[in-house]
């Protein structure tokens, strides 16, 4: 009997694992208690169909092991992490699930926490890492490239005279140039998404192939596909007597070795006539 069957029979608990841990920070909610805001959900990387299926099977078998993260803001419990799990919880019609509450001063802090949390996931591919590093950089920097006043990185307020690219580069083991290129990649991908709905997800999940260089160029207002160059009409060069002699020698050799076909011989005869 799997976990879902136990719940339906009243012998299982959605939060059994957390009750055993007796974690005082875990609060249990129903789906009606949680608010999902599209502008926050946009910061969450969607899973592949295979990943989504594995997550569903895990919840069916073992329940919701990892609490969903919410932010209590102006009377709402806004979901910051666990959007994919919440969709499965609703589909399986589970009553309650574990959550933990985070506290932030404003929306910017909440979103920056979401980005850092996404970057901490092990299952992000290289393009997803590039996109989220770039998005974090663009959100946190000021107009001169330094830390935006009040920006929060890993829970620490950083000195505003430092470059945000320096901190992100050190955190992720890449160069500052890579971080700045990531920022352009994020801008280009979001710009493409505004023109072609679904393009960003398709590229980040690997369903659509588009080079990083083209995305960065698109951020700089360069077209994705370069205009085709008009082919110049080449002046045909007439064969010399030497060329003709060589051609005759090759034809004679081809006939001798039986490489030339009868229809080709007939065409040659027509040309000679």
Mean pLDDT of the chain: 80
Q: For residue 181, count CB atoms less than 10 angstroms from its CB and return exposed for 0-12, middle for 13-18, buried for 19 or more.
A: buried
Residue in the block written with tokens 């998404």: 193
Total H helices, total E strands in the chain: 13, 7
**Which of 99, 169, 102, 175 has its CA nearest to residue 140?**
169
pLDDT in tens, 81-108: 999 999 999 999 988 899 999 999 999 8
Buried b (16+ CB within 10 A) or exposed e, 20-41: eeeeeebbbbeeeebeeeeebe
pLDDT in tens, 65-76: 899 999 999 989
Three-state DSSP at 101 gives: strand
pTM exceeding the 0.85 threshold for the entire prediction: no
DSSP code per residue over 154-190:
TTEEPPTTSBHHHHHHHHHT--HHHHHHHHHHHHHHH
Domains within the chain, CATH numbers bracketed? 1-103 (3.90.1530.10), 106-221 (no CATH), 245-272 (no CATH)
pLDDT of residue 47: 86
Residue 248 Rama label (left phi>0; alpha psi -120 to 50; beta): alpha
């Amino acid at each position: 009997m799997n976990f879902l069957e136990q719940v339906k029979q009243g012998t299982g608990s959605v939060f059994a694992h957390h009750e055993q841990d007796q974690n005082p920070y875990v609060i249990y909610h129903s789906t009606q208690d949680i608010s999902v805001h599209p502008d926050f959900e946009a910061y969450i990387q969607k899973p592949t169909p295979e990943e989504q299926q594995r997550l569903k099977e895990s919840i069916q078998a073992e329940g919701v092991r990892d609490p969903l993260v919410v932010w209590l803001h102006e009377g709402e419990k806004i979901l910051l992490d666990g959007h994919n799990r919440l969709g499965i919880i609703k589909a399986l019609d589970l009553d309650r699930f574990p959550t933990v509450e985070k506290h932030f001063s404003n929306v910017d802090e909440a979103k920056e926490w979401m980005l850092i949390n996404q970057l901490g996931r092990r299952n992000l591919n290289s393009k997803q890492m590039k996109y989220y590093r770039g998005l974090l950089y663009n959100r946190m920097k000021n107009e001169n490239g330094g830390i935006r006043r009040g920006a929060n990185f890993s829970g620490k307020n950083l000195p505003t005279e430092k470059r945000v690219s320096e901190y992100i580069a050190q955190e992720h083991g890449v160069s500052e140039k890579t971080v700045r290129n990531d920022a352009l990649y994020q801008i280009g991908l979001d710009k493409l998404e505004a023109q072609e709905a679904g393009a960003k997800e398709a590229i980040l999940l690997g369903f659509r192939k588009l080079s990083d260089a083209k995305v960065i160029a698109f951020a700089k207002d360069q077209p994705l596909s370069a205009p085709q160059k008009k082919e110049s009409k080449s002046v045909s060069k007439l064969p010399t007597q030497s060329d003709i002699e060589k051609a005759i020698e090759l034809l004679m050799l081809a006939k001798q070795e039986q490489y030339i076909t009868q229809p080709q011989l007939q065409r040659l005869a027509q040309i000679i006539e």
